[in-house]
Structure 1
Amino acid sequence: MAGWELARKTVDRCRILAVNHDLGAVVLPVGAAQGVFNGLIFHVPGKSPAEPAVSLRVVSTRALTAAAVVTDGDIRALSPGAEAVTDLQTLINREQ
């Protein structure tokens, strides 16, 4: 199976594909083939250190995409192309 190696490790970052403000949900361009599973938490850091991060919980997973809902923060702070990570501290350390 060609994708077997991908499924062994859970993805740790991606970029938001779409934001639906009415549903309070976002579409992520990663799915089960990349190790994403329902309940996985992603964080989208604020654009400045003063802005809080937005937390997302994956609620639906397909082979190559996933849907997530906002669990903490303001969905209006999100836009397509924003980076979402599973470990916010690693991203903060990398940017310092």
Structure 2
Amino acid sequence: MEICPYGLGNQARNPIAKLVDANNFGTSMFRRLSGTNSTFIQILYAPKILDNIRKTRTQNGIIDLLTINCEGCEFEVLPKLIMHDMLRHFRIIQFVSHTTLFKQ
């Protein structure tokens, strides 16, 4: 497993994220920001990065597991993957939604 210092989204950008604590647990772009514990993060274009991983790090072009748990951006990543006909390149897609982002 490799941990990469970027996130994936429907477009490349550098938003500001709030760091919840010193260990960076629970980082989110959707919480109220404050100057003391906020930082820029790098978001890369999901279809391009995942296609590159598929072509360079797999033997058969299939990624065994894609886990999407990105504090709300899963709702922008999945439609972009569908639009680019990429779902067929994953054996399993694990999707974690955050119900706190929805108004009830």
Write 1 or 2 for the structure with the bigger share of strand: 1
**Shared fold per TM-score greater than 0.5:** no
Structure with more contact order per residue of length (Cα contacts < 8 Å, sep ≥ 6): 1
Q: TM-score, normalised by structure 1?
A: 0.23
Write 1 or 2 for the structure with the bigger share of helix: 2
Q: TM-score, normalised by structure 2?
A: 0.22
Question: Which structure: larger Rg?
Answer: 2
